[in-house]
Structure 1
């Protein structure tokens, strides 16, 4: 940018000078036709009217590709519907669809957890359908607790289960304390 010298004459009346404008390259593209028309407006000396159509850009919402946000995950933790032990042990086997509905997850996630964790051993019938025993459902509940509530990674949950042989007992204690807390909160609300 070249340097300009400015001189001030304080006795003279101020003269408003039109600011010099740098040429602006404006191109217009007509995308409605198969061959786009490009117009260069820098060579036009006088423009009596300019109309500009602003076309909003598509907002590229970040896709999660099936992954749940942590906020949604936390909200869903309280919504799992695993029945009490008495009701759970009434049936010998639960199909994978029923198990996925209990935990409000996809069947593919249950299959993934089955492949990752050795404690899950569902039976398979002649067609290859997975049938989960009540013990498997309880183990899934433990895995769900570790991954979704305590925010362990898959490797961290595997390590936890490997190192803590009494993880089932600790989890049962946590569950019974949650029930007690819920009962006391309900009792408090009724007072």
Structure 2
């Protein structure tokens, strides 16, 4: 749901996008701690594209997939925890990869010893 390059949207604009009223948006802010639009100097809520995408995800869980509010909240919480855990594993794997690349580079720098084959091994044995 990309919209014309705007950085911020007012609560009425967002409510119209989803065909819900502004009070429902404020209610979802209370129910979902992950949905926290910023407020401008005059105290009005301003939604970023990320806020709108997150709201869309919440509405899909509730309206399309049949989640209850607590169920949707738990789903998002679990998903976010899994993402954080995956980031930890990805970072560990990146460090391992960097170490292996460093090891490979150091091995590539070493000049391999010339291996001379034995004269005996090159000639087949005669069978009588």
Range into which the TM-score falls when normalised by the shorter chain: 0.5 to 0.7
Structure 1 equivalent of residue 109 of structure 2: none
Q: Does the alignment pair 1:163 with 2:78?
A: yes
The one-character-per-residue Cα deviations of 1:164-186 (angstroms, maximum 9, x if unpaired) are: 2379xxxxxxxxxxxxxxxxxxx
| Range with greater deviation from structure 2 (97-106 or 113-122) | 113-122
1:120 aligns with one of 26, 32, 35 = 35
Q: Residue 66 of structure 2 aligns to a residue in which SS? A: coil
TM-score, length-scaled by structure 1: 0.40
Structure 2: stretches of 5+ with no match in the other structure: 84-128
Instruction: Compare CA radii of gyration and give the structure with the larger one.
Output: 1
Segments of 4+ moved more than 3 angstroms: none
The one-character-per-residue Cα deviations of 1:78-115 (angstroms, maximum 9, x if unpaired) are: xxxxxx33x36x11100000000000001000001011
Structure that is richer in helix per residue: 2
Structure 2 equivalent of residue 144 of structure 1: 59
Structure 1: stretches of 5+ with no match in the other structure: 1-83, 168-191
TM-score, length-scaled by structure 2: 0.59
Report how many residues are paired. Answer: 82
Structure 1 equivalent of residue 99 of structure 2: none
Instruction: Determine the C-alpha separation between the residues in 2 that align with 1:140 and 1:132.
Output: 10
Q: Does the alignment pair 1:134 with 2:53?
A: no
Backbone CA RMSD of aligned residues: 1.7
Higher relative contact order (CA 8 A, sep 6+): 2
